[in-house]
């Protein structure tokens, strides 16, 4: 399938060991808005041009759930419009990360390709990159008009 047949990778779904804690993290730290909550074990969010889901690991699996020492998914990312926006986000989220169950993974850094980012984790250890990427950060997004 060519890239012209789809609109990008804009849906991510993660399993959560504690859905309420993870929900608070994504709502409070990243400002994600709930678009659908079909039941107590699933919640779908959006920031306007994406779809992000959290699914509670069922109680029958939770007791035996043992996270890997490393995760197979390297990271997911949120795109910011400038390096200054990355620094602003870092200053805003860093003091709140621990209280919401996350932590800073890597400090803000300039990358060889011209991008600029920092990394942090959610309550289940999933790594999120706050990223300015020159080729896509300047794209214009019209909320609700995708």
Phi first, then psi, for residue 115 (nearest 5°) are -80, 170
Residues of the chain falling short of pLDDT 70: 1-4, 67-71, 141-146
Q: What is the pLDDT of residue 145?
A: 46
Q: What is the pLDDT of residue 138?
A: 81
Going from N- to C-terminal start, the domains of the chain cover 3-58+74-137
Token look-up 């390096």 returns 83
CATH superfamily of 3-58+74-137: 2,3-Dihydroxybiphenyl 1,2-Dioxygenase, domain 1 (3.10.180.10)
Pairing of strands 33-39, 42-46: antiparallel
CA distance linking residue 97 with residue 126, whole number of Å: 13
Q: What is the pLDDT of residue 9?
A: 81
* Six token digits for residue 47: 């920031």
Q: What is the pLDDT of residue 65?
A: 75
Q: What is the pLDDT of residue 67?
A: 64
Q: What is the pLDDT of residue 70?
A: 61
Q: What is the pLDDT of residue 140?
A: 72
Pairing of strands 127-132, 42-46: unpaired
Map residue 136 onto helix, strand or coil.
helix
- Tens of pLDDT, residue by residue over 46-72, are 998 899 999 999 989 887 877 666 667
**Alpha helical stretches, state H, the chain:** 19-30, 59-62, 83-97, 134-137
Pairing of strands 103-110, 42-46: unpaired
């Amino acid at each position: 399938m060519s890239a012209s047949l789809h609109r990008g990778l804009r849906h991510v779904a993660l399993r959560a060991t504690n859905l309420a804690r993870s929900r608070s993290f994504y709502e409070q730290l990243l400002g994600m808005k709930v678009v659908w909550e079909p039941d107590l074990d699933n919640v779908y969010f959006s920031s306007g041009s994406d779809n992000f889901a959290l699914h509670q690991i069922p109680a029958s699996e939770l007791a035996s759930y043992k996270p890997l020492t490393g995760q197979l998914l390297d990271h997911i990312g949120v795109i910011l419009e400038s390096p200054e926006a990355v620094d602003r986000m870092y200053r805003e989220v860093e003091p709140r990360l621990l209280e919401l169950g996350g932590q800073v993974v890597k400090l803000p850094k300039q990358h060889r390709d011209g991008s600029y980012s920092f990394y942090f984790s959610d309550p289940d250890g999933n790594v999120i990159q706050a990223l300015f990427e020159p080729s896509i950060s300047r794209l214009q997004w019209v909320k609700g008009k995708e």
